Amino acid sequence: MQSNKNGMRFRPTPIPLKAGQKPLRFSFQEIVGHESIRRVDNTPVEVIGCGVIGRRLALSLAQKGYPLALVDHDNIESHNLLAQGYSKQYLGLPKVMAIGHDLYESLPVGNQIIAIPKSFRETVTAKLPIDPKIVTCQTHDFASRMEVAYHFYLQAPVVFSGTSATANMGWVFVQQPGQACLRCAFPAVKISGQAPCGGMSGDIAEVVAGIASYAVDTLAFDHPDRRRTWNLFKIDLTGLAPQMHIRDRIQRNPDCELCGEFKESRPRATAFSVA
């Protein structure tokens, strides 16, 4: 493990294979094949937000072998333990460090995990050299998601996800460079204020994190068993909100307040600011 003021690197020691032993990611490898596994190994993913969805998503991606940069400036508080799945021994520690330690201890493969206990905005201000090929964003307010959507709009695909406060609805949206942005998908959401997340069970987080992890695969490699026709997936566990059971293909809105300014010939403007 290496540490500096901007974070800590965890590189688990892979378990060596014995002669004739199956590869450690055998089931995933059977599905997606060697070439896709190689793509996974060479696709660093920045995971922004390590709360109730983010922690589960980080574990799923790490188990598949993606190198990860974990970004979250929160420390673990007692109410995070059951809801977000953190261990008591990590109370008070930054969430990203707890995930890094868990993966260092448990991962059988040697993919690198970088834990950065900062907010996304701090990583941009400090110009940290993260350089992901894919980003996931599951912060708990729409304003910070908009900042991420804007920052990466021309640079890298972003898999956004979130849930309702009632813990029975969730969504995943995939923003790809030059295509519909997060704001095109949710034009009416108020961007000020924070979404409440108290008392949420992990059920919907497991579902949403699984869909988001699948979406990352569809961006990382091309495989018939990792296809995706949608960029917006909404799910409702109650079954009482049929408009939530959708897989949709959102088109770019030319008048969008966020992505509307990105024209082919124009350089990127200043940072998107939330009034």
Scan residues 217-236 and list those touching Zn ion (CB under 5 A): none
Q: State how far the Cα of 135 lies from the Cα of 219, in Å rounded to an integer.
A: 10
Cβ 236 to Zn ion, closest distance in Å? 25
Cβ 150 to Zn ion, closest distance in Å? 10
User: Of 174 and 184, which has the nearer Cβ to Zn ion?
Assistant: 184
Alpha carbon 8 to chain centroid, angstroms: 19
Cβ 143 to Zn ion, closest distance in Å? 16
Residues 6+ apart with CB under 8 A from 139: 48, 49, 51, 120, 145, 148
Our finding on whether 256 is near Zn ion (CB under 5 A) is yes
Helix axes 26-41, 203-220, angle to 10 degrees: 60
**Tokens for 240?**
């009482």
Cβ 225 to Zn ion, closest distance in Å? 30
Q: Which stretch binds Zn ion (CB under 5 A): 32-40, 108-116, 164-172, 252-260?
A: 252-260
Q: Which stretch binds Zn ion (CB under 5 A): 182-190, 193-201, 224-232, 233-241?
A: 182-190
From candidates 133, 151, 183, 234, binder to Zn ion by CB under 5 A: 183
Candidates 90, 100, 37, 38; CA nearest to 68 is 100
From candidates 80, 259, 262, 272, binder to Zn ion by CB under 5 A: 259
Q: Which stretch binds Zn ion (CB under 5 A): 6-14, 69-77, 105-113, 181-189?
A: 181-189
Our finding on whether 197 is near Zn ion (CB under 5 A) is no
Q: Which stretch binds Zn ion (CB under 5 A): 43-51, 70-78, 164-172, 251-259?
A: 251-259
Our finding on whether 250 is near Zn ion (CB under 5 A) is no
**Tokens for 171?**
């969504």
Q: What is the DSSP string of 21-62?
A: PPPTTHHHHHHHHHHHHHHHHT--EEEE--STTHHHHHHHHH
Q: State how far the Cα of 29 lies from the Cα of 44, in Å rounded to an integer.
A: 18
> Residue numbers of the site for Zn ion (CB under 5 A)?
181, 183-184, 256, 258-259
